[in-house]
Chain A
Amino acid sequence: MSYSVLEKLKELKRIVPNPDYSRQSLISILRHAPQKSLGIFETLLFRISLVVTVFAVILFGAIRSEAPLKLAGLDPQGLKAEAEELDLQLRLTEISLNQDLDGSAITALKEAAQNGPGHLNTSIIKNETPKLDATEYSNPGVDEALKALSE
């Protein structure tokens, strides 16, 4: 750069702010409170607590995945026995229901074989319809099976 331009630029360094303005500005600025930052101790404490929390969460997760949740007042052996008993009862009621249904089906087939197609006669069906009661239970064994299941 030529000397004259450099010299001219150096002259700009003589620009200064008005001293009265500078004083007033500083007073006004210092009336404001600076935002507080965390000190070294607080920052360290925060970081340690964060690490401990993360570690505890990971540890808790690992323990839970290894062993099922154990609660006081919960008897796993009693629960297992109860579950097995329930399964057994369920099977017994199922067999009983199947037997009843099998009996009904055999009777119906027998009647159909003996009477021939007569049971499909529309006049017979018409005569029998009023005698049918839709609300009447045809198989009390189903009720018993449901009752046994709910107990």
Chain B
Amino acid sequence: MLDGENKLIRDAIRGESSAFGLLYGHYQPQIYRFIFLKVGRREEAEDVTHQVFLSAWTNVASYKDRGHPFSSWLYQIARNKVIDFYRTQKADLPLESAEEVFISSAESHLEDFETKATIEEVQQAILKLKPEYQEVIILRFVEDLSLKEAALALGKSEGAVKLLQHRAVKNLKQHLT
């Protein structure tokens, strides 16, 4: 959670674009990753991420803090936008080449290459999973969300997330080996 997040949200609700800009800067990378791992292509991930934050900004007044973190609200919007994306886009688009993926700065070119190869391997394995397995893997093991946070983002109980997680990991291992 971002420092002073509640105040930033209140300011954003009042229409202060600078406050929303800070929230965007903090949450946009993780929302982008979530979408990228689910759609598999950089351009599409950028379009969908843009739609998510556009929707969040125009509807920020409807966000109500009822113990749900702001990130959960953003993940819920992202999940809906990905569903819309698959509903409207042509199926079987080829996967993005790993070369096209932007990664945070690496120590060396060799490390950069290895990282991209690993990313491609895991990304392809994740894309073979059911959507709900993908989501639980990304939120719990990529973004390190707690069980409670993941449950809020997915709109499920903690028990249901635990069960999903167990099945998702089992499935992922089969695709990775």
- Find residues 1-40 in chain A having any chain B CB closer than 8 Å to their own CB: 1-2, 5-6, 8-18, 21-22, 25-26, 28-30, 32-37
Q: Looking at the complex, which one of B17, B50, B169 makes contact with A28 (CB distance below 8 Å)?
A: B50
Complex Cα–Cα for A8 and B114 (A): 11
B residues near A32, Cβ cutoff 8 Å: 54, 57-58
Q: How many of B's residues come within 8 Å of A, CB to CB?
A: 47
B119 touches A30 (CB 8 A): no
Complex Cα–Cα for A29 and B18 (A): 12
A12 touches B123 (CB 8 A): yes
Q: Is B143 an interface residue (CB 8 A)?
A: yes
CB distance from B93 to the nearest CB of A (A): 18
A10 touches B141 (CB 8 A): yes
Q: Given A5-B176, A17-B32, check contact A11 B115 (CB 8 Å).
A: yes
- Find residues 42-85 in chain B having any chain A CB closer than 8 Å to their own CB: 42, 45-46, 49-50, 53-54, 57-62
Q: Given A30-B21, A35-B59, check contact A17 B141 (CB 8 Å).
A: no
Q: Looking at the complex, which one of B57, B123, B173 makes contact with A34 (CB distance below 8 Å)?
A: B57
B58 touches A26 (CB 8 A): no
B142 touches A8 (CB 8 A): no
Q: Name the interface size band of chain A.
A: 20 to 34
Q: Looking at the complex, which one of A12, A17, A22, A35 makes contact with B119 (CB distance below 8 Å)?
A: A12
CB distance from A96 to the nearest CB of B (A): 80
B104 touches A14 (CB 8 A): yes
CB distance from A47 to the nearest CB of B (A): 16
B residues near A26, Cβ cutoff 8 Å: 21, 24-25, 28, 53
- Type the 1/0 row for A36-51, where 1 means its CB is closer than 8 Å to any CB of B: 1100000000000000
Complex Cα–Cα for A26 and B28 (A): 10
CB-based nearest A residue for B56: A29
B58 touches A9 (CB 8 A): no
A30 touches B17 (CB 8 A): yes
A6 touches B62 (CB 8 A): no
Q: Is B133 an interface residue (CB 8 A)?
A: no
CB distance from B49 to the nearest CB of A (A): 7
Q: Given A1-B141, A5-B176, A29-B24, check contact A14 B57 (CB 8 Å).
A: no
Q: Given A30-B21, A32-B54, A37-B61, check contact A11 B118 (CB 8 Å).
A: yes
B residues near A13, Cβ cutoff 8 Å: 33, 142-143
B residues near A35, Cβ cutoff 8 Å: 58-59, 61-62
4 cross-chain pairs, A with B, having the tightest CB-CB distances, nearest first? A37-B61, A17-B32, A9-B141, A14-B103
